[in-house]
Every structure is written in structure tokens, then in C-alpha cells.
């Protein structure tokens, strides 16, 4: 996989009883009702009642990665756009993992023109 973006499927590792399993999930949790319809990809406020139910061990998983990207905090003066900045543990890009939470989402995902009916593991 060259890259995973919000609402794309990707392999993850989660608990399955006493074992671990690799499954495919879509990136992005259901948003709080007042936030709108876009999946949430970075949960910063874990004290919010919206997220509290998913913070239990049975909803945790790992996302294996070798690198990840974020937009620069300020626009590039030459282009006026924010550059994509890549991060890795070192130049060899060894495997590491992000800790995440998951749930089953019963609604549609994908685009308005090509919705993908649920349920989805997100």
C-alpha cells in the first residue's frame, strides 16, 4: 500500500479473545453529532463523552506503519500551500505502530456519488 488516507481501508492488528488478528478497517471514527459527517482521524479530546465508550481495551488496535505524513504548520511562501512533511523512525523506515480505537459503523462511507453501504469496521 503506497498510502492510506481518511476513509481508505488498511490492515490493522486487534485483539480477538486471547489472540491477535490482522483485519482490514477504514480510517476514521464516526464524528460527534454536532461535528458534521466527515470521519474523525485524530481524536484529541479523549475526555469527551462521545469517545468514552470506545476507550476500553476491547476497542483498541495497532496500525502498523513505516512512515506517515502531516501537512506543514505554515504555507510554503513560494506556493502558498502547505507542504506534505514525511516522518519515519530513521532513514531505514523500520516498522512501528500507532495505537488507535475502533468500532463498527453502520452507515455509508465513501463519497456521495459512490457510497459504500455499512457496516464498516472503522
pLDDT of residue 1: 55
| Contact predicate 101/61, CB 8 Å | yes
Distance of CA 110 to CAs 31, 63, 69, 97, 104, Å? 15, 21, 22, 25, 15
Beta bridge partners of 40: 29
Q: Give the model confidence (pLDDT) of 43-93 as tens digits.
A: 888 888 888 889 998 999 999 999 988 899 999 999 999 999 999 999 999
- Assess contact for 22 and 36: CB atoms under 8 A: no
Is the pLDDT at 38 greater than 80? The verdict is no
The per-residue pLDDT for range 104-113, each reduced to its tens digit, is 988 888 888 8
Rounded distance, CA 98 to CA 70, Å?
14
Average pLDDT of the residues of the chain: 88
pLDDT at 59: 92
The pTM of the full predicted model, rounded to 2 decimals, is 0.79
pLDDT band, residue 20 (cuts 50/70/90): very high
Amino acid at each position: 500500500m503506497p498510502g492510506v488516507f481518511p476513509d481508505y481501508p488498511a490492515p490493522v492488528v486487534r485483539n480477538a479473545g486471547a489472540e491477535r488478528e490482522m483485519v482490514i478497517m477504514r480510517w476514521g471514527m464516526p464524528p460527534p453529532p454536532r461535528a458534521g459527517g466527515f470521519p474523525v482521524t485524530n481524536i484529541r479530546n479523549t475526555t469527551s463523552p462521545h469517545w468514552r465508550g470506545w476507550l476500553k481495551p476491547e476497542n483498541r488496535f495497532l496500525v502498523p506503519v513505516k512512515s506517515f505524513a502531516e501537512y506543514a504548520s505554515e504555507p510554503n511562501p513560494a506556493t502558498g500551500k502547505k507542504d506534505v512533511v514525511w516522518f519515519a523512525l530513521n532513514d531505514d523506515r523500520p516498522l512501528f505502530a500507532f495505537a488507535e480505537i475502533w468500532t463498527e459503523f453502520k452507515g455509508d462511507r465513501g463519497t456521495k456519488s459512490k457510497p459504500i453501504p455499512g457496516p464498516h469496521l472503522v
